[in-house]
Amino acid sequence: MDNKDITINIQESSCPETTMIITDAYQAQVQTLSQKEGWVLQQATVISKDDVFLKTISGESDAIKLLLKAVNNRTVERNYFKLYCEMLDSSIAEEEFDKLIELNENDYIVSETDEPNDNQIKMAFRLSEHIKGVNSLNDFTALFSFNAKKIEALLEKNYE
Amino acid sequence: MSKFINIGDTIEAEHANACVRKLEWKGPRKHPITNECMMLYESNRNSNVEIVKVYAGEIKKGTEHFHRNMGDILEADSISIYVDSTRREKSDVKEGVSARHGAQLIDIRKRSISTIKYPLHNLFKCLGLGSSVDIVKTIK
């Protein structure tokens, strides 16, 4: 393959503590598996601290966990408003509404008890830029179940 | 009777009157300090909350710094109001409260805790976070 025709893309990784390197750009070769249509062998060398890169591509990263938490908390909020609507249109009695909330609090009220570290808070901020309906600190802490005091402590530290 | 305008200032009242440009009902939440399940409302423009009946109940641990005097007012853009209730509060819309805009008036007749919160966009700036940009270099 003529090296002049090779286009090499180098992307700065958004995965923490990982650098992606393509070794020796001028001699890099792209091999294509012709046996299966659409399958392409891609080669790269990755330098990563501990297992950070492997955890990222396997879905064990903090980002994935935060997003799963956010989805579940949105479901909890939706459950509450659905139940409230049922009470308003008299599908269920007010006493039944109060009882359901009291007995199944985790299904209807978001808990904000998690104490994240600084990196998790910063990652959550970055994720929240792309999530709808995060307009206030309360929206942010409810989305990721963060304890508001921890966020305020981080702010005080950054103000010093 | 005092006016509070700083971030973190909190008032606790048996009855309170709130005047806000826009109030959003956020649903039930656990109060971050008392851990009680309360109904949360948020205002985001030209808001004030005033104590009209003093809270005379038990002062819980962690709430000693709350202001509880008659006539104490919180004034800010972003106020979080926690109401000890399981039902949504009703508000009246009144036009001409300021020279240009109307406002929502809410008479809260349940125990409430109101706090001036950090605006979220300020938090981004404080932590030095902006829009993330992926850098792709192409070498030929």
* Residue A46 confidence (pLDDT): 73
> How much is the average pLDDT of B19-26?
90
Q: ipTM value, please give it.
A: 0.78
Single out the residue of B101, B91, B103 nearest to residue B48, CA to CA.
B103
Using 50 as the pLDDT threshold, list the residues of chain A that sit under it: 1-8, 12, 16, 19-35
Structure-block tokens of residue B59: 């002062």
Which residues are CB-neighbours of A2 under 8 A, at least 6 positions away?
Answer: none
* Residue A56 confidence (pLDDT): 64
Helices A137-144, A62-88: axis angle to 10 degrees equals: 110
pLDDT bucket at B68, cuts 50 / 70 / 90: very high
- Asked if the model's pLDDT at residue B133 lies above 50, the reply is no
| Cβ within 8 Å of B, A 48-87 | 77, 80-81, 84
The overall pTM is greater than 0.80:
no
* Residue A96 confidence (pLDDT): 94
Measured between beta carbons, the chain B residues lying within 8 angstroms of A105 are: 37
Helices A118-128, A62-88: axis angle to 10 degrees equals: 60
> How much is the average pLDDT of B47-72?
93
Which residue from A12, A98, A155 is facing B118, i.e. has the nearest CB? A155
Q: Which residues is B138 bridged to in the sheet?
A: A9
* Residue A71 confidence (pLDDT): 96
> How much is the average pLDDT of B22-26?
90
CB contact under 8 A, A81 and B27: yes
Higher pLDDT, B127 or A92: A92
For chain A, what is the radius of gyration of the CA atoms?
Answer: 24
d(C-alpha A6, C-alpha B27), whole Å: 56
CB contact under 8 A, A105 and B37: yes
d(C-alpha A23, C-alpha B122), whole Å: 42
* Residue A35 confidence (pLDDT): 47
Shortest Cα–Cα distance, B126 to chain A (Å): 7
> How much is the average pLDDT of B53-61?
92
d(C-alpha B107, C-alpha B105), whole Å: 7
Q: What DSSP state is assigned to residue A27?
A: G
B129–chain A Cβ distance below 8 A for any pair? yes
Which residue from A12, A105, A155 is facing B123, i.e. has the nearest CB? A155
* Residue A55 confidence (pLDDT): 67
* Residue A2 confidence (pLDDT): 40
CB contact under 8 A, A108 and B28: yes
Higher pLDDT, B68 or A118: B68
- Asked if the model's pLDDT at residue B97 lies above 70, the reply is no
Measured between beta carbons, the chain B residues lying within 8 angstroms of A85 are: none
B90–chain A Cβ distance below 8 A for any pair? no
* Residue B119 confidence (pLDDT): 77
B30–chain A Cβ distance below 8 A for any pair? yes
Single out the residue of A71, A156, A160 nearest to residue B8, CA to CA.
A156
Higher pLDDT, B127 or B12: B12
- Asked if the model's pLDDT at residue B137 lies above 70, the reply is no
Average pLDDT, chain B: 84
* Residue A58 confidence (pLDDT): 63
A154–chain B Cβ distance below 8 A for any pair? yes
* Residue B120 confidence (pLDDT): 76
Other CB atoms within a 10 A radius of the CB of residue B88 amount to 13
